[in-house]
Structure 1
Amino acid sequence: MSPIRVGIIGLKPIPTGEDISNQPGYWAGAAHLPALRAMPEDYEIVAVCNSSVESATTAIKQHGLPESTKAYGNQDDLANDPLVDLVIVSVNVGKHVLLAKPALEKKKDVFVEWPLAAGLAQSEELAKLASAAGVRTSVGVQARADPLVVKVKEIVESGRIGQVTNSSVWISSGVLPYGAWTEGARYYLDFKSGGNNFFIYFGHFLDSFTHVLGDFAELQAIMKSTVSSIAIFNTKGVLINPAHPKTSPDQVLVQGILESGAVASISVRKPKAEIDGASFRWIISGTEGEAEVVIPRSHWQFGEVKRTLRLKIGENETQNVDFLYGDEFESKVPAIAANVARQYRAFAKGDTETFATFESALKTHRLLDRIIRAAGWESF
C-alpha cells in the first residue's frame, strides 16, 4: 500500500541555534516531523505551506526534506495540489477554520491540532464541513494513543477494579510560567482565543478522562482567574509589557455524576511549583480496587517518560503496571513526539479507538462549553 502523501501547514524555519521543543509555534517541527519520519512506510511528506513560499522553502531546506517537496504560501494552493492526500494544520487555533476549510472543500483528509477550533461554534463548523466532505479527520488529542491511557481504559473496561464508583483528579499547571510570559504566546492569556490553560492544558486531560470513563451526566463548575495581568518578555528576555491583561482562568473545579453513575471531581490549580512534583494525579476507584496515574511536572499529552500507573486490587499489595510492553515508539522518537507518532500509526490503520476524529473531539468541546456555562462564564 502506498504511503499517505502529506502536506504540512505550519512547519516553520528554525531560528539559528535555538531549541524549538518548548517554544510556541514550532510544534510541527518538534513533534509532527519526527513522528511522520518514524514511519516512512505509512507517510510521505510532499508539501509544506507557510505564510509565504519563501518561508516554506526555507523550512524544507532546514528540516532536510527532499528537494521534490512542494513549497506553498497559501492554503488554497496546497488544497489544490492533487498529490496531497492529508493536510496537517499545526498553527495557532485561531487560524484552524481558515486553513482547514479549503482542504475539506477539496475533499482531502485533514489533521488539525487541538483544540479543534477557537470555541464551540467554530468547532461545530469544522465538524460539519468534514461530515459534508465525507473525508477522514483527526484531531491532536494524542494522549488517547498513549499506552498509559490505553492501559487505563483496558483496566476499567475489563472490570479489574470492579464497577467504577468515584474518580478524583488533581491537576497543577505549575509547569507553565507564573509571573512572566512569552511574547509569541500572548493568545494563551486570552480566554476568548480558545487556546489557553483551560482549553489546552486542561482540555487535553479532559479528553482522556471522558475517553476512559465517559461523559458527565450532570456537573457543577467554578472557574476563576486569580492573576489578572502578567509580564510579557520577548525571546531575548527583554520586557515588552509589565502588565499584559490575562482573562483565561487559572483555577478550575468540576464535580458531578458521570453517565455511568460514578461520582467525579477534577481540581485544577495554578501554583508557582507543586509541593509533590506532580502535574497530574488521577485516581479511579471501583468496587474491587483502585488505579492511580501520576504524571510528574509536564503536560498530560507529552507522554512524560516518568509517568506511572499503579493498581491495587482488594487487600493485595499495590503493583506498578507496565503499560509500555511491546511499544515501538517510546525509544524510537523524541519523547515529545511519541504520542503523536502513535496517533499517526492509528490513523494509518484506521484505528479510531486511539485517535480522535473531528466528531469525537467535538464531544470534548461540548463538555468544555458545558463547564464554561456551569461556571457562569460566557460561552462562545
Structure 2
Amino acid sequence: MAPIRVGIIGLRPMQSGGEDIANQVGYWAAIAHLPALRAMPEDYEVVAVCNSSVQSARTAIKQYGLPESTKAYGNQDDLANDPLVDLVIVSVNVGKHLTLAKPALEKKKDVFVEWPLAAGLAESEELTRLASIAGVRTSVGVQGRADPLVTKIKEIVESGRIGKVVNSSAWVSFGMVPYDSWAERGEYFLDHKSGVLDSFIHVLGDFTELQAIMKSTISSVAILNAKGEVINPAYPKTSADQTLVQGILESGAVASISARKPRSEVDGVSFRWIISGTEGEIEVIIPQSLWQYGEPRRTLKLKIGESESQNVDFLSGDEFESKVPAIVANIARQYRAFAKGDTGAVATFESSLKTHRLLDRIVRAAGWEAF
C-alpha cells in the first residue's frame, strides 16, 4: 500500500544561527510530528510544507533535510489544491486552526489538527461540521489516547477485572511548567480555554453532573525570548492555575479531577490517577512530565481483592518506546493507528468536540466566563 502523502502547515524553520528548538515554543511540528512521520516511511511521505510564505517553507524544507521534490507553499489554499496531498497537518497557534484547516476539508482531504481543536466551542463545532460534510478522516493532537498505558487502563476497566467502577480521582500538577514566566510565541497557551481531558473521558466516559471551581492566583507572567531575556515583564494570564472538578459519570461513578500549579511538587509527581471498582483498584503515577509525552518512568499498578498490588506491564511489543524519543513516541503511535484505521487510539474531530463541550461546561459551572 502506498504511503499517505502529507502536507505540513507550521513546520517552522530555525532562526539564523540555529537554536535549541527542543526548549522553544513554536517548533512542535519539527520536534514531534516530523520525527514521528519519518519513523514510518512505509506509512507516510512528507510531500509539501506550507508556512506564512513560500520562502519560509523552502527554508524549512532545506533545514530539516526533506527531499528537493517537496513542494513549498505560502498559503493554505494552494496546499489544499495540491492533488498529491492526502493528509494535511495543522500545527500552529490554535487561533488559526479553523482558517488553515477549512480549505483542506473543503477539498476532501484528511486533516490532523493539534489540540485544542479550535479557538473555542463554536469554531470547534464548525470544523467538526465541515469534516462530517466532507466525509474525511480526522485526528486531533491529544496523543495520550494512543499511549499503551491508556490502552491498558481502558482494557482493564472494560474487562471487569476491578468490577464496576464506583470512584475515580485524578490529581494533576503542572510543577514542570514555569511558575511566573513563559516563552515568547507561546502566550496563547495561557488562555483558560486550553486543557486536556481526553484520556479521562476516553477511559471512563463523560460527566452527567458536575461542579467546578477555577481560580487564577497568578494574574501575569514574564514573557522570555529564546535567549531567556524578559521582553514583557507582565503579560496578562487568563488561564486558571487551580481547578477542581467533581461530579457523576455516565456510569454512575463518582469522579473528581484536581489540577494545581505549584512552584514545584513536594513528591515529584505530575499525575496520580486512581480508579476504584467493586473488586479492585488501578493506580497510575507519572513523575515530572506532561500527560501526553509518554514519560518512560510512568507506572501502572493493579490490586484485586485482598491480593498484593502488582505492577502491570503495558509496553510489551510496543515498537516506539525505544525507537524514537519519549516526547515523540505517543504521537508516532497515534500516526500508526491512523494509518491502520485503528480508531480506538485516535482522537477525532467528533470525539475532541465532546471534550471541548465538557471544558465549556466546566468553565460555566465555575462561573469563569464572568472573568
Q: TM-score, normalised by structure 2?
A: 0.98
**Do structure 1's residue 300 and structure 2's residue 301 form an aligned pair?**
no
Partners of 1:293 and 1:71 lie apart in 2 by 44
- In structure 2, C-alpha distance between the alignment counterparts of 1:70 and 1:9, rounded to whole Å: 12
User: After superposition, what is the alpha-carbon deviation per residue over 1:117-175, rounded to whole angstroms, capped at 9, x for unaligned?
Assistant: 01111100100011111111111111111000000000000011111110011100111
Residue 214 of structure 2: aligned partner = 223
Deviation at 1:207, TM superposition (A): 0.6
Task: List gaps (5 residues or longer) in structure 1.
Answer: none
Counterpart of 1:152 in structure 2 is 153
Q: Give deviations 1:306-346, integer Å, cap 9, x for gaps.
A: 11101111111111111000000111111111100110111
Separation in structure 2 between the aligned mates of residue 255 and residue 190 of structure 1, nearest angstrom: 22
Counterpart contact for 1:11–1:59, Cα < 8 Å: yes
| Separation of aligned partners in 2, 1:362 and 1:374 | 18
Matches within 5 A, 1:268-283: 268-283=259-274
Note the C-alpha offset of 1:26.
0.4
Does structure 1 retain, via aligned residues, the 8 Å contact 2:112–2:138? yes
Report how far residue 280 of structure 1 moved. Answer: 0.5
- Percent identity, aligned pairs only, is 79
Match of 2:32?
31
**How many pairs were matched up?**
370
Which deviates more from structure 2 when the two are superposed, residues 12-21 or residues 289-298? 12-21
Are positions 1:46 and 2:37 aligned together?
A: no
Distance (whole Å) between structure 2 residues aligned to residue 264 and residue 190 of structure 1 = 25
Structure 1 pair 110/353, CA: closer, same or farther in 2 (3 Å)?
Answer: same
Check if 1:320 corresponds to 2:320. no
Q: In the alignment, is the contact (CA less than 8 A) between 2:6 and 2:89 conserved in 1?
A: yes
Report the equivalent of 1:85.
86
- Compute the displacement of 1:279 (Å): 0.6
CA distance in 2, matches of 1:10, 1:105: 20
Match of 1:337 in 2: 328
1:183 Cα offset (Å):
2.0
Distance 1:323 1:369, change over 3 A: same
Q: Distance in 1 between matches of 2:56 and 2:309?
A: 53
Task: Quote how far apart the aligned CAs of 1:5 are.
Answer: 0.4
Aligned equivalent of 2:368, options 341, 361, 377: 377
Residue 88 of structure 2 contacts residue 110 of structure 2 at CA under 8 Å; is this kept in 1? yes
Tell me by how many angstroms 1:284 deviates: 0.4
* One-letter identity of the residue aligned with 2:139: S
What's the CA shift for 1:379? Answer: 8.9
User: What amino acid maps onto 1:3 in structure 2?
Assistant: P
The answer to whether structure 1 residue 246 and structure 2 residue 247 are counterparts is no
Q: Which runs of 5+ in 2 are unaligned?
A: none
Whether contact under 8 Å (1:160, 1:289) holds in the other structure is yes
Q: Distance in 1 between matches of 2:224 and 2:142?
A: 29
- CA 97–379 in structure 1, closer or farther in 2 if over 3 Å, else same: farther
Q: Is the 8 A contact 1:113 1:139 kept in 2?
A: yes
Mapped partners of 1:135, 1:179: distance in 2: 42
Q: 4+ runs of 1 displaced by more than 6 Å?
A: none
Letter in 1 for 2:39: A
Output one character per residue of 1:84-123: Cα deviation in whole Å (capped at 9) or x when no partner. 0000000111100010001011111100011100111110
Q: Shift of residue 376 of structure 1?
A: 0.8
- Cα-Cα RMSD: 1.2
Supply the distance in 2 between the matched residues of 1:54 and 1:242 (Cα, whole angstroms).
33
On the 8 A contact 1:369/1:379 being kept in 2, the answer is no
**Could you tell me which residue of structure 2 aligns to residue 6 of structure 1?**
6
Contact residue 168 and residue 276 of structure 2 kept, 8 A = yes
